[in-house]
Structure 1
Amino acid sequence: MTAVDATPQGGQGTHHSHAPHVPGLHLGSYRQELHRGVGTFASFAAGFSFVSILTTVDQFFFIGFGFGGAAFFWTWPVVFIGQLLVAYNFATLAARYPISGAIYQWSSRLAGPTFGWFTGWVMIVAQILTTAAAAIALQAILPQIWTGFQIVGGSGADSSPTSSSGAGNAVLLGIVLLAITTTVNALSVQLMSRINTAGVVLELVGVAVVLVMLFTHLKRGLGTVVHTTGTTTPAHANHVWAWAASGLMAAYVMVGFDSAGELSEETHAPRRTTPRTIVRSLTVSGVLGMLLLLGGILAAPSLTDGTLSSIGLPAVLDAVFGSVGGKIILADVAVAVFACTLAIQTAGSRMVYSMARERSLPFSGALSTVSSKNGAPVVSTLVVGVGAAIVLLVNVKQSAIFTALASLCIGMLYLAYLGVTVPLLLERIRHRRDGVVLDGVDEHGAPLFGLGRWGIPLNVLAVVFQVAMAVNLLWPRAAVYDLTGHTWWLRWSALLFVGLTLVAGVAIHKRNEQREGAKREMPFLPQSASEVLDLA
């Protein structure tokens, strides 16, 4: 392996104008600290388990169906195509910058250290929120398996995610899950990878079984999905706007495919493996998720009795598989929830570690420490786990915790993604006349992943899509953020939280710069973006 793998020698990032040349890479001499033990399938598993279609489709099906009825199915291919454009752009960068903290590293090298810092800061907050959102998915599963899992209010209490007892129980189950995932992540990278891989295998098997059963128990035809049958949106409402709101469900699901990039420093042959697993994890998730939605709608016993808009897909599985079979499948979904939460926390801890080793965060010394025994950034892992638990505790009495937390965390992820795709587009446009053709190769001697002449148009479409989805996710809908219907600060909580995140970021960044002295450059910056991008 060429030395492109971990922290810069000497700790703090400093600019080296004569860094060793690696074809297609200008990363300089990094010291390997994270253990390189992630193979091709484990890299794919990192992205697939973050998306985790069994977890998220089960968790959020009721939201999409409630807003749009059966026709909400069509939001899935729209979001899938849009996110695939983003994934292709990320894959181009992953081939050239195989470094932990991918979003932060890419943004910093494209737009400078300060812009990159804020992109990384938003990403850290988003990943902590997403870890919390994934953990509470157990509430949509465990009480359906056994009523004894409904601890808050007792087994007879309402376990619906939007009820006060259901929301409180979701927080309790989520904190227990976070304690387990934090322990696993802190104990061993290898254990985390093995559990994650096993979880993905079980999830893929579960998805295959579910699809076979759904499509062999159809109750209606394909024409169903061109109607809004089953929607809870009032008849006088704007149905285009309601359909856009139903697209939140697909937006919640198809994120995190970039997490393979977070494990680049722990992946074998990362310049070859990571770009492919980023695209592959989203593609597999997108296709299988679309089939799950379609099968769930067509096999549901009823579209109009309110079950799909309150319980969602778990009710369909119970009807199709029967009581015992349905519980077995839901147990598999619970395993997927565990693997999903584990993967998101892993990605978040690598982002914290990556920024801390550049001394860009408070307490960077502790946050950038890697265990010599197991290769895990233990303190960074604890920060993400404890942060996610605090998020849940703050929302313990919030009945809109499922919809509000999901919309907020995914909206912030879209903002962080824009922190990469927008400067990438500007660099492509700036160098569109350079005629540069990258001749870099990966570890197997093949050309690095690139978009060539399609780079600018695909990048433009990706940015347009991301902006539209960010607006859609953060829009102050009472049905998403304020189920009381009369609390203004809840309705505007997403935008308020984003604003507070940026204000806190300004304070932290300013204090950090004062403590560290002169503003630092990212280590080993290329002379220009044209040196690392295939812009032909």
Structure 2
Amino acid sequence: MSNATSKAAAADRDAEQLRALGYTSNFERSMSLWENFALGFTYLSPVVGVYTLFGLCLAAGGPPMFWSYLLVGIGQLLVCLVFCEVVSQFPISGGVYPWARRLVGKRWAWMVGWIYSVSLCVTIAAVALGAGPYIASLLGFEPTAVTNTLIALGLTLIATLLNLSGTKLLARMAMFGFICELLGALVIGGYLLIFERHQPISVLFNTFDISIDGSYWPAFLTASLAGMFLYYGFEACGDVAEETPNPSKRIPKAMRMTIYIGGGAAMFAAIALILAVPDMAKVISGEDSDPMSTILNNAFGPLGSRLVMAVIIVSFVSCVLSLQAAASRLLYSYARDEMVMGSSILKRLSPNTHVPAAALVVCGLLPAAIVCAGFFLQNAIAAVVAFAAIGIYLSFQMIVGGALFARFRGWQPSGQFTLGNWGWIVNIAALIYGVLAIVNMSWPRTPDAPWYVNYGIVVTAAVVIAIGLIYMFALKPYDRGQAPAGDAWKLSTPKLDSDSELAR
């Protein structure tokens, strides 16, 4: 059989699998395994995740904060494995929304999609704003509120234009971002470990007498936010399921690769930075409030620091690009099932680039509006930005809980990736981890601060959920479409390969 014939046969199998799930698609299935993985990697973005919160979490918990990357990584791997089972059986664009629809039902799916879409739009705005100081410094501007806002708006516009160019360009940009970010993390981390190491390895176990109410553990839990704000992005691999050949096999593998490689790169970068801190006591006391700049300037000087910043900027740009791609596919999937206003426009794919153009524009305008709001309402928007991570965790646990619900109803995962007899154990452990992580992220940590500071995340989450519930029950969008729902335990998707993927 020729290569062209083989590809055509594979495309027919993918189309037939999608039809069996109740859909047809005009997406271009051109994203390879590595390109799909690169999308998840650049969304997770170890450089963005580590560099953004490094100074804050190091001051809060000291060098042992490093171990949070390992512990949170294990917890998120459990969540990832549950997702792998679901996406293998339901490789549908949009990720968490269609998964929730098949596992539980239409109302549950609507709320998952609502919470996740709001979280993604806020995250896009937050990452774009986070890039502002680095880009301003590289270009020689003072990183003021005005320049940060303008840079964030420009970055969002560039990401939208690139995403509108099609799946192939998105895949190539994701691969470019992955290569730059991974090489940057390895080269920068390797240089720091070899030439700029100021701390012994034993410092990773040194708490520097940090304590809250006489105990170190509250401080460590605060510092563990470094890992909790990092380990998501693997779900983005499933958002483009209809743009990836043989998605039932490739996407679960790409998801696990995102955790393994992304987590490994993050841990390597973190340990290199910790060991390169010249004076740890100054960081703990707050005298050195920006240890990242201190480390980079000491290690690389003005010119070298600019080169490092260039790598960081590439990471931010590719992260925004991947986030927006994921958000647009979710909105498209929402619209295809008539679950949102403007569905007739939002579900259209461009005849030239085969991407949801209207959904992409919306996923550029909403983060841009949040960026502008942040300029005028900096205190209020801080709580909204903080909600982004907890909103994503809430969405994740609604899928994990939905999978457990489906198992109780008799669901037996039948994709090419299954956990077999480990399914129940992993699913329950993932749910326990996720609930504890949400409690930790929302726990009030400044008793002397005003209530809206301590409980800002909880209040914001409650408002977002309340608005979603009002919209859902008032307009009943879940009753409009005819797509299948709540049928996971009724379906049995034939496996193309009888071997379990868990051992690979």
Q: Same fold (TM over 0.5)?
A: yes
Does residue 1:122 correspond to 2:115, yes or no?
yes
Displacement of 1:191 in angstroms is: 2.1
Deviation by residue 1:238-276 (Cα, 9 ceiling, x = unmatched): 532121111111111111111000011111221111010
Q: Deviations over 1:54-104 (max 9, x none)?
A: 112111111211211112111111100000111111111111111111101
CA contact (8 A) 1:5 1:30 kept: no
Query: What do the CA deviations read for 1:292-334 (whole angstroms, capped 9, x no partner)?
Result: 1111111122212237963243432232222212210111110
Cα pair distance change 1:374/1:147, threshold 3 Å: same
Task: Find the partner of 1:243 among 210, 217, 220.
Answer: 220
- Give the SS at the match of 2:339: coil
Distance 1:460 1:437, change over 3 A: closer
Kindly indicate whether residue 432 of structure 2 is the aligned counterpart of residue 464 of structure 1: yes
SS at match of 1:32: coil
The letter of the residue matching 2:178 is: V
Q: Which residue of 2 aligns with 1:14?
A: none
Match of 1:87 among 80, 83, 87: 80
The answer to whether the aligner puts 1:350 opposite 2:335 as a matched pair is no
Aligned CA distance change for structure 1 residues 104 and 235 (closer, same or farther; 3 Å):
closer
Return closer, same or farther for 1:424/1:533 CA change in 2, 3 Å cut-off.
farther
Structure 1 2/335 Cα, relative in aligned 2: closer, same or farther at 3 Å?
Answer: closer
One-letter amino acid matched to 1:324: L
2:182 matched to which residue of 1?
204
Partner residue, 1:421: 400
Q: Secondary structure at the match of 2:229?
A: helix
**Does the CA contact (< 8 Å) of 2:106 and 2:485 recur in 1?**
no
Shift in alpha-carbon separation, 1:316–1:407, aligned structure 2, 3 A: same
Residue identity opposite 1:375 in structure 2: H
Distance change >3 Å, CA 314–CA 275, structure 1 → 2: farther
2:320 counterpart of 1:327: no
Does structure 1 conserve the Cα–Cα contact (< 8 Å) formed by 2:104 and 2:405?
no
Determine the structure 2 residue equivalent to 1:523: 484
Q: 1:475 aligned to 429, 443, 457, which one?
A: 443
Residue of structure 2 equivalent to 1:13: none
The counterpart of 2:239, out of the listed 262, 280, 285, is 262
Unaligned runs of 5+ in 1: 7-19, 153-164, 441-447, 480-484
Correspondent of 2:369 among 370, 387, 390: 390
Q: CA separation in 2, counterparts of 1:58 and 1:226?
A: 21
Paired with 2:381 and 2:298, the residues of 1 have a C-alpha distance of 24
Q: Is the 8 A contact 1:429 1:456 kept in 2?
A: no
- Do the aligned partners of 1:408 and 1:474 also contact (CA within 8 Å) in 2? no
The question of 1:138 aligning with 2:131 is answered yes
The yes-or-no answer on 1:513 pairing with 2:476 is yes
Q: Counterparts of 1:251 and 1:28 in 2: how far apart (Å)? A: 33
Distance 1:288 1:487, change over 3 A: same
Whole-Å separation in 1 of the counterparts to 2:385 and 2:49: 10
What's 2:53 paired with? Answer: 60
For 1:248, give the aligned amino acid. Answer: L
The equivalent of 1:174 in structure 2 is 152
Paired letter, 1:282: I
Residue type at the aligned position of 1:134: V
Higher deviation after alignment, 111-120 or 220-229: 220-229
Residues 25-64 of structure 1: pairs in structure 2 closer than 5 A: 27-64=20-57
- Whether 1:284 and 2:261 are equivalent positions in the alignment is yes
> What letter is aligned with 1:468?
L
> Which of 291, 301, 313 in structure 1 is aligned with 2:292?
313
Aligned positions of 1:288-303 closer than 5 A: 288-303=265-280
Percent identical: 24
The question of whether the paired residues in 1 share the 8 Å contact of 2:410 and 2:489 is answered with no
Partner of 1:155: none
Would you say the 8 A contact 1:318–1:327 is kept in 2? Answer: no
What is the distance in 1 between the residues matched to 2:235 and 2:191?
Answer: 31
How much does 1:277 deviate? 0.2
Compared CA separation, residues 404 and 508, structure 1 to 2 (3 A): closer
